[in-house]
Each structure stands twice: as structure tokens, then as C-alpha cells.
């Protein structure tokens, strides 16, 4: 290889694959939808628990089951987004836990969506 070829050849060591913004945008949409569904079901579960244990009202037991399955789906789509945008482990775990504290998923979703949109120009 001559010196001319050596200087014009792209360096494979420093070239990172370009992020696929279409995949990131669809992962972000799934994450946002599940964050809202999880937050709404958690609020409904909270109301059910207050009614059941605070006021002795007979409440349906399926609300907790639905929230559990929605939260499981939230975990999957959040992990998918975290891998695609390369979140650090602390941010990923914090986002995963946001679905367990009433109202927190709404705030975390807003912040994460804003950051991802700015970072990837979505």
C-alpha cells in the first residue's frame, strides 16, 4: 500500500455504525405508549388499593394482573430502546423502575423522549 492509499483510506477503527433513526423512532414510540399505559394502570391499581384497604370496598382483582402484564411489556420495550440508544445501566434501571412509582413514569417518559429526540434529531 502506498502512502497515498494509506492517507485516503477510511479508518475502520474509528468508524462507528450510524444509528438507524427509523428503528430508534419506532422503539421510542413503543416506549412512550407503554410508559403511559403502565402509568395509567398503576394509578388505577393505586386507587383500587386505597379503596380496598382504606375503605373496605370490594374491588376487582384483575386490575393488579393487568398492570403486571402491562409493566412486563414496558420492561421489554424500555430495554429495547435502552439498547438502541445506548443508555448507561443506571439510566436504564431508573427508567425500568419508573413504572413502579405512581406518576413517575409520566415524568421520566417526558424527559427520556425529549432527550432521545434531541440526540437523534427525531
Average per-residue pLDDT for the chain:
90
Pull the grid cell for residue 65: 394482573
Single pTM value for the model: 0.83
Could you read off the pLDDT of 36-94 as tens digits, one per residue? 999 999 999 999 999 999 999 999 989 999 999 999 999 999 999 999 999 999 999 99
Average pLDDT for 106-121: 96
How many residues does the structure list for the chain? 122
- For residue 29, the model assigns a pLDDT of 98
| CA 67/CA 55 separation, integer angstroms | 22
| CA 114/CA 122 separation, integer angstroms | 10
Q: In the chain, which residue ranges form alpha helices assigned H by DSSP?
A: 3-8, 21-49, 55, 62-85, 89-97, 104-120
CB atoms within 10 A of CB 11: 6
Amino acid at each position: 500500500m502506498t502512502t497515498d492509499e494509506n492517507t485516503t483510506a477510511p479508518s475502520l477503527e474509528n468508524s462507528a455504525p450510524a444509528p438507524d433513526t427509523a428503528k430508534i423512532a419506532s422503539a421510542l414510540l413503543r416506549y412512550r405508549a407503554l410508559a403511559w399505559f403502565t402509568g395509567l394502570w398503576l394509578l388505577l391499581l393505586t386507587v383500587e388499593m386505597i379503596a380496598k384497604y382504606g375503605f373496605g370496598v370490594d374491588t376487582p382483582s384483575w386490575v393488579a394482573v393487568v398492570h403486571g402484564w402491562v409493566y412486563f411489556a414496558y420492561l421489554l420495550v424500555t430495554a429495547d430502546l435502552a439498547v438502541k440508544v445506548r443508555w448507561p445501566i443506571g439510566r436504564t434501571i431508573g427508567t425500568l423502575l419508573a413504572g413502579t412509582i405512581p406518576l413517575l413514569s409520566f415524568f421520566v417518559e417526558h424527559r427520556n423522549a425529549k432527550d432521545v429526540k434531541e440526540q437523534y434529531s427525531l
